[in-house]
Structure 1
Amino acid sequence: MAIGVFGLTIGLALGGVVLLGALRFVLQRNVDTEAFRTADAVALLAAEDVLPDPLPVAGGQVRVQVVDGQGRIRAASIDADRLVPMVRPERLHRDRRQQLDVPAERVGLAGPVRVVTVPAGTADDPLTVLVARSMADVRQSTHVVRVILLVAFPLLVAVLAGVAWRVVGATLRPVEALRRGAEEITGRAGTGRLPVPASADEIHRLAVTLNGMLDRLESGRARQRAFVSDAAHELRSPLTNIRTELEVAQRLADRTDWTAVTANLLADTDRLSRLVDDLLLLARLDEAPPARGTGAVELGGLLTEVAARYPASPVRVAMPPGPLWTIGNADELRRVLANLVDNAVRHASGEVVLAAEAASAARQRIGAGVGAYHLVTVTDDGPGIPAADRERVFDRFTRLDDGRARDDGGAGLGLAIVRELVRRAGGSITLTDAPEQHGLRVCLLLPAAPAEASPGHMVDAP
């Protein structure tokens, strides 16, 4: 605020100086113009050799002299000196017009005095017309303006400073309210919202944006707390089992079946290792930017490879003739299919069907807006998932009621990992009812590789 008032003061001071200079210049130019007009009229009389004596001049603040080449006064106005020229001979240039300042006592006018000279006469008898005009009115006018500026300047600065103080204060008051609100939120380390001013201006939009940011931060903190709590709970369970097994074995060392204890410990250790690996994978996926795959992957071979892991389970692969190429990371897509098949096998009562369809067939089945995406489905004949829960199951650590048993239902991270990996591959995943209205079908849309990306193969035209 002080800097603004200081800058305003400097600006007004410079404006006042420029105003005074411009006023002085305009008034002096007017004086010179009037003096030259009078001198030209007298020069015209001299050229016609009809100079009257005394010279007629209007106004009491004007003196006129006509001087010859020897410095003698040929004619003068009634109040002008007839013996001494108003300008010393050495200062006169008889061949051009001049504007001179001379002492007031030499002319007999109230100073300062402005004198203009105009050549006149003939080549044989050169003359010079001298016209003197008093600058007292100019000095008086500039003095009055200077006094007005000196009196009005401090008052104007004070008024403008007061107005600026009120305006800036009113403008910054919402900002101060935002600052206090932010300080209160920071002080209590909890949720809260910043006050939103009623005015529809930039401060209003800033407050709305900051409140939106606070809501997102709070939502992120809530998810983080829930994630940490769930992760700690899931990690505690196998650790508790391991501790319990060891304590019982230690207490009943002579009657302990160490083979069973070892098997249980290995099972809990494997479960703990899988949980830690899943958590680390999710952490890496959260940190890594979304990215499309790095190479072409043949879906038929990938589905066959995943299905081969379940030799004793009813996993059947249904593929159209010819290869289907997609763009992605083979390891990540393998992890996606393995998680989906694991989940389907866990809940299926009969068989699990792992199938793929080309982009053209996928468009006919799902809709014309699908685009160049291959459709991969994992279908089981288990109990299915209610429609209300089909989005929730992709949340981390989510297990439905019939999957709550940790030994059978897992930690609830499989589908969360699947969704993140599918997003990174540039695809999408949805859950629907199986065609027989009994069971669950998982539909994956994976981007079809362009013809030039497929090693020696052509994919269906989009």
Structure 2
Amino acid sequence: MTGTAPSRPARFARLPRNRLPRLPRLPRFPRASVRVKTTVGAVLIVAVALVAASTALLMVIHHGLEVTAEHTARTRAEAVAEATRTGHLAERLSVPQGEDSLLQVVTDDSRVLAASENLAGRAAVASFVPADGRTSAARSVRVAPRQGGAPHPYRLVAVRTTSADGPATVYAGTSLETAEYTRNLVLTAMIPGIPLLLALVAAVTWRSTGRALRPVEAIRSEVAEITEHDLGRRVPVPASRDEVARLSRTMNDTLDRLQDSMDRQRGFVADASHELRNPIAALRAHVEVAIAHPDLLRGPELLSDVVRVQQLADDLLLLARLDAGQHPDRTALDLGELCERTLARRPPGRVRVSLDTEPGVVAAASRSQLSRVLDNLLDNAQRHARSRITVTTATEPDDGSAVLTVTNDGTPVAEADRERIFARFTRLDESRSRDAGGSGLGLAIARDIATAHGGTLTAGPPVEGRGTEGQGVAFTLRLPSVAVAPPYGAVGGGVGGVVSRAPVGGRSSSS
């Protein structure tokens, strides 16, 4: 059975967006300080809590006293009702001495059969009766005293009974003056106390917030004084171990890194300017000679200087991209195949290069950038090697990372210089000549590329048995490996463009 759903009532119909009722927004203080906002918020919260607690207290007190009065009145009304049914009703009903209470028996035709002394000769005090099925009912009324004056509050209970004249109602009332007095007393005590308590809360919150924010203000004022030319200043660290102290330490660590970065940037700019000055000066000299004496122009020297400036500019651009956090596109790359291709395209160098690869060494890397690393390491080795350069690939047995090592038998690098040689524009004493020593950026670029790939590049003594007899230096590149390496000798491109090779373990070749 199918049918359409019943339509929604008109009052639930969707109103246009611009006609929907909007809830009132709480006031905001966008320009107020944290101290002011905290103080105002604390005062408002305490004020709401105090008003709610006071209201609840008054209600509990009043309700408790009213229940007690009602219970007393019902007990007396039931006793008088029983006396009325049994025919023992007296004309004057007695109440406890000194107690402000009411007693009255009224027939359904409003005749008063009996009453207490304070209601003698008066008309019926009330006319309500219990509802059908109930034996009693209670209400709060006000009755004026006989001697005149303001009406007094009573909790009046009506109980149905039967008299000799027919059905009747017994009204018994107990004074609520005690309840009103207690309520007024509580109000009188609380009304002056609430503002005083709110003022105390505001003062304490203002003082404690100011004390808590004092270190923050000190940090702000100190940071405001720090400029790019004065990064040596540090923010004060409070003695406490709270969030502000952690913020201070974090900010000081950030300033340390910022100062280190600015120092490196200044040094880099100064070194780059210094390195570019000489080839540019040489180019200017060649141009001036060519203008003055065209027949004396030496093309090869001019081209060499142009290539040198171009290479230096390319190195600076690559370093800038690496510093900017450029992430290379990575593929599964066979390091042995990369070494073979790199050695095949390089022109013969001064020193013979031996290749010793291990099967299946595959890393997640960018082919162009990893080829740049190998070129830089080989250029460095060609400048320093005496008679032998060895390139090896292997898999680290501990963590399975891919390892590429370039070893030369040149002068060993002192342990104190093994990190310094990776700094930009750094050349050791024996390679200070720019004709033989390069620009001093090759190793820095190689390490930055390794770091961008999640790997490391370190310098150290060569491994025994690599043909260097313990002399020279070995540059070791470690990269994250691919979990599943293609089989050595796989047909086709394989993963990441790996070419097929003969499955020989530890293949060795020379270039």
Taking structure 2 as the reference length, the TM-score comes to 0.78
Distance (Å, rounded) in 1 between the aligned partners of 2:405 and 2:122: 124
SS at match of 1:412: coil
User: Helix, strand or coil for the counterpart of 1:445?
Assistant: strand
Alpha-carbon shift at residue 6 of structure 1 (Å): 4.9
| Structure 1 position 393 matched with structure 2 position 431 | no
Are 2:289 and 1:219 aligned?
no
1:409-430, Cα deviation, whole Å (9 max, x unpaired): 1111101111122233443322
Which residue of 2 is the match for residue 299 of structure 1?
A: 335
| Sequence identity (%) | 35
Which of 1, 12, 20 pairs up with 2:50?
Answer: 12
**Separation in 2 of the partners of 1:83 and 1:387?**
117
Count of matched residue pairs: 444
Question: What's the CA shift for 1:294?
Answer: 2.7
Contact 1:297 / 1:326 at 8 angstroms: preserved in 2?
A: yes
Does residue 263 (structure 1) correspond to residue 296 (structure 2)? The answer is no
1:26 aligns with 2:59: no
Determine the structure 2 residue equivalent to 1:314.
351
TM-aligned CA deviation for residue 268 of structure 1: 1.2
Match of 1:86 among 102, 110, 125: 125
Write the distance in 1 (CA, Å) between the matches of 2:312 and 2:164.
Answer: 119
Q: Would the aligned equivalents of 2:358 and 2:393 in 1 still touch at CA under 8 Å?
A: no
1:383 is matched with 411
C-alpha displacement of 1:286: 2.0
Q: Cα 1:123–1:165, aligned 2, differ >3 Å: closer, same or farther?
A: farther
Superimposed CA distance per residue, residues 68-124 of structure 1 (whole angstroms, 9 cap, x where no aligned partner): 333222332233324521114xx3347542223444227778513332211123799
The superposition leaves residues 150-185 of structure 1 with CA deviations (integer Å, 9 ceiling, x where unpaired) of: 222222222222222222221222222222212222
**Matched residues in 2 for 1:425 and 1:180: separation?**
40
CA deviation map 1:332-383 (0-9, x unaligned) = 22111111111111111212122233x2xx53xxxxx2x2234322221211
Letter in 2 for 1:54: R
Once the two structures are TM-superposed, the CA of residue 189 in structure 1 deviates from its matched residue by: 4.7
Alpha-carbon separation, structure 1, partners of 2:265 and 2:321? 15
After the TM superposition, which of the residue ranges 373-382 and 183-192 deviates more from structure 2? Answer: 183-192
* Counterpart for residue 65 of structure 1: 104
**Which residue of structure 2 aligns with residue 273 of structure 1?**
310
Q: Secondary structure at the match of 1:420?
A: helix
Q: CA deviation at 1:130?
A: 0.3
Q: Looking at secondary structure, tell me which structure has more helix per residue.
A: 1
SS in structure 2 at match of 1:451: coil
User: 2:164 and 2:348 mapped to 1: Cα distance?
Assistant: 132
TM-align CA RMSD = 3.0
> In structure 1, the residue corresponding to 2:93 is in which secondary structure?
coil
Alignment of 1:40-439 (within 5 A): 40-58=78-96, 59-82=98-121, 84-88=123-127, 91-93=128-130, 95=132, 96=134, 97-105=136-144, 110-121=151-162, 125-186=166-227, 189-250=230-291, 253=293, 257-258=296-297, 260=298, 262-290=299-327, 294-308=330-344, 309-311=346-348, 313-320=350-357, 322=359, 324-357=361-394, 359=395, 362-363=396-397, 369=398, 371-434=399-462, 435=464, 436-439=469-472
Gaps of 5+ in 1: 364-368
Distance 2:228 2:198 in 1: 41
1:286–1:246 distance in 2 versus 1, CA, 3 Å: same
TM normalised by structure 1 equals 0.86
Q: Distance in 1 between matches of 2:473 and 2:434?
A: 21
* More displaced stretch, 231-240 vs 2-11: 2-11
Partner of 2:73: 35
Conserved in 2, the CA contact under 8 Å of 1:86 and 1:106?
Answer: no
For residue 402 of structure 1, report the CA deviation from its aligned partner. 0.8
For residue 289 of structure 1, report the CA deviation from its aligned partner.
4.9
Native 8 Å contact 1:397 1:412 kept in 2: yes
